[in-house]
Amino acid sequence: MPTLKAVLGLETSCDETAAALVDEGRIVRASVVSSQIDLHARYGGVVPEIASRAHLELIGPVVAEAFESAGSTLNAVDAVAACSGPGLAGALLVGVTAAKALALVAGVPYVGVNHLEAHLYGAWLQNPDLKLPVVMLLVSGGHTLLVAVDGRGKYRVLGETVDDAAGEAFDKVARLLGFGYPGGPEVDRHARIGSPTAVDFPRAMRGSLNFSFAGLKTAVALHLREHPEVLTSEFGVDDIAASFQAAAVDQLREKLAAAADMVNATTLVLGGGVAANSALRSSVVELAETTGRDALLAPLELCTDNAAMIAAAGWWRLQSDGPTPLSAGIDPSARLPGSTP
């Protein structure tokens, strides 16, 4: 295969339209993310039809901005990568179709990228020579996975959520507390002011590597029903946000610690939108320090959905598997490739 350097990545799986130019799977030359948060905020969640239409309008300008900010053009691109799943079908189709068209025009390969694998690369692109095995905690709005990474493309799913994803729980609790959408960053902000020990919310699924957040969310709802005054008292919502966050982070940390021991991991890797949470970041760094491991956290701008992680994962997939045929479609319910259910 000819030498590949510059990959253009596109991400349109949910409510972010993103394009990035990444060299050699690690050097981010431009990463543009256009969030549709304002369009979906009044509905309290992502509306698939609105998302697809917005992607259609935004994908052209976002790609143009990525080229402008990198001082580059389509002629200098060696491959085009796009997220092909999991995600919203109509939204995925926009990015994949645009990527195939751009690849055809430029006469370069197209590569379809799994969104979950890409979140791993949001962290891994910082240190591609990482000594394996590592354990990754992938926490986003749609997924909560504990993964042993034995090699590139060699994954073992050690645990996953049996109900809500971690980000979903943050968003639902935020709604109960009257915060805006998306709720995760708001819970994080209020939790900095509140007391994490104000309410002792349950730590679920002790003794298992699987996660559960539905009971924790219900416990918050029941507490608010019994104590409606906290919604209007000074620091009331801050205390609930901090106490919920402490219970969620404790659960994530406990399972990450057990998984790291199980596979004798060199490094704890954290990625996905919830990896932007300040309490979770400190907890993982502290866990790594106390157990003599390294911590590799996706930088904040590469935690939530972005296209730099797609371009990086695409670069590596091209090395291992070669181009994806243009006849390949999308897979809205794709699992992490190479992993056992």
- Which chain residues interact with Zn ion by CB under 5 A? 140, 305
Specify whether the CB–CB gap between 89 and 330 falls below 8 A.
Answer: yes
Specify whether the CB–CB gap between 257 and 291 falls below 8 A.
Answer: yes
Query: Which residues have CB under 8 Å from 292's CB, separation 6+?
Result: none
Q: How far is the CB of 264 from ligand KG4 (least distance, A)?
A: 28
Q: How far is the CB of 177 from Zn ion (least distance, A)?
A: 23
Beta bridge partners of 11: 18
Q: Does residue 182 have a cis peptide bond before it, meaning omega lies within 30 degrees of 0?
A: yes
Kindly tell me which residue out of 25, 112, 167, 194 binds ligand KG4, with binding defined by CB under 6 A: 167
Interface region with ligand KG4, contact rule CB under 6 A, candidates 17-25, 134-142, 199-207, 289-297: 134-142
Q: What is the dihedral of CA 34, 136, 48, 114, to 10 degrees?
A: 90
* Rounded-to-integer distance, Cα 302 and Cα 133, Å: 22
The CA R_g of the chain, rounded to the nearest whole Å, is 20
Q: Which CB atom, from 140 or from 283, has the smaller least distance to Zn ion?
A: 140
* Rounded-to-integer distance, Cα 271 and Cα 224, Å: 31
Residues 168-187 that bind ligand KG4 (CB under 6 A): 170-171, 182-185, 187
Q: Is 78 in the site for ligand KG4 (CB under 6 A)?
A: no
Q: Which CB atom, from 182 or from 196, has the smaller least distance to ligand KG4?
A: 182
Q: Which CB atom, from 77 or from 191, has the smaller least distance to ligand KG4?
A: 191
* Rounded-to-integer distance, Cα 214 and Cα 228, Å: 21
Q: How far is the CB of 319 from ligand KG4 (least distance, A)?
A: 25
Residues 247-306 that bind ligand KG4 (CB under 6 A): 272-274, 276-277, 304-305
Interacting residues with ligand KG4 (CB under 6 A): 14, 140-142, 167, 170-171, 182-185, 187-188, 272-274, 276-277, 304-305
